[in-house]
Amino acid sequence: MDIILYNPLSRNGKSKETVNQLKEKLVSLGNDVSVQSIFEVVSIKSFIESVNIEDRVIIVGGDGTLHHLVNSIRGYDIKQPLYVSKAGTGNDFIRSLNNKEDIIDITPYIKDLPKVLVNNKESLFLNGTGIGVDAYVCHLVNTSPKKKTAFNYFKNALKAFLTYKPSTAVVTVDGVSTAYKKVWFVLAANSIYMGGGMKFSPKSVRDDDLLEMLIIHRIPRLLLFLIFPTIYFGWHVKFRRYVKVVQGKSFKVEYGRSAYLQMDGESLDDVTIMEITR
């Protein structure tokens, strides 16, 4: 049996249409199919463990859905393979796998994920986590009454760039600390893509044992506006005077003031320190 577990809020609330299309396709192939909203599941772990091993659990949702999923089953020996259908708003996780299938087995990719410790709580992340103006943009997008479109993201990014004040930061990479001034944001990347297809970290490899940390600092506000669109192509890393990229396995960021932090696009406020391990 194929069990579709979907997020009703994915694709700006249009995931049910995608679910119905997927169900019709699977039924036409002769499969038995059941459908359930992820909001109706009290315990993701118990739900997954309750299905037969030969059944397929197919997740319909984007990066936010998968972020909550991997943290819900963290620490448990889940033997049930997990699949994802491409139905999220961003789908940066799926995009980074470079897989053209409509339904993808993600089990191998979620067994060894990086961790971030924030405000005494440790979480796994799939694509990236960062503190500063990029997280503030995520906050604006997540709280906006508008739909999560590329245009809305771009518009909120411009709004954030106009009002955000850079901070100092001390960044420690594998035990070596460096102080930075006028830091716009610090981002640890496990994937090339974030923000709905933007190539924040063009040299990241998901299945290696390293993370890339991007430090955007000392850049004039006007130039930030000009460089921002180049992130879609990964060209921003060429501006080495303002964009520093460091590889490592262990990171600590001590931001100069309280700021927003994002994990796979999910935002959290009142953060000054984040610790990351691969």
Domains and CATH numbers, the chain: 2-109 (3.40.50.10330), 115-277 (2.60.200.40)
Q: Are 191 and 145 in contact (CB under 8 A)?
A: no
Give the pLDDT confidence of 26-79 residue by residue, as tens digits: 999 999 999 999 888 888 888 888 888 889 999 988 888 899 999 988 888 778
Question: What is the pLDDT, as a whole number, of residue 87?
Answer: 57
Question: What is the pLDDT, as a whole number, of residue 138?
Answer: 92
Extract the tokens encoding 228.
């921002």
Strands 33-37 and 2-6: parallel
pLDDT at 168 over 90: yes
Q: Which of 73-77, 88-92, 99-103 has the lowest mean pLDDT?
A: 88-92
Which DSSP helix (H) or strand (E) runs through 85?
A: strand 82-86
Question: What is the pLDDT, as a whole number, of residue 39?
Answer: 86
Position 196 confidence tier, pLDDT thresholds 50, 70, 90: confident
Give the pLDDT confidence of 243-267 residue by residue, as tens digits: 999 999 999 999 999 999 999 999 9
Mean pLDDT score, 165-193: 97
Strands 56-61 and 82-86: parallel
- Tokens 């411009």 found at: 158
Output the pTM of the full model.
0.91
Extract the tokens encoding 45.
């772990």
CA-CA-CA-CA dihedral for 149, 204, 164, 115, to nearest 10 = 100
Q: Burial of 209 by CB count in 10 Å (0-12 exposed, 13-18 middle, 19+ buried)?
A: exposed
Question: What is the pLDDT, as a whole number, of residue 176?
Answer: 97
Strands, DSSP E only, in 92-151?
A: 103-105, 115-118, 121-124, 128-132
Position 14 confidence tier, pLDDT thresholds 50, 70, 90: low
What is the distance between the alpha carbons of residues 15 and 6, in angstroms, rounded to a whole number?
A: 7
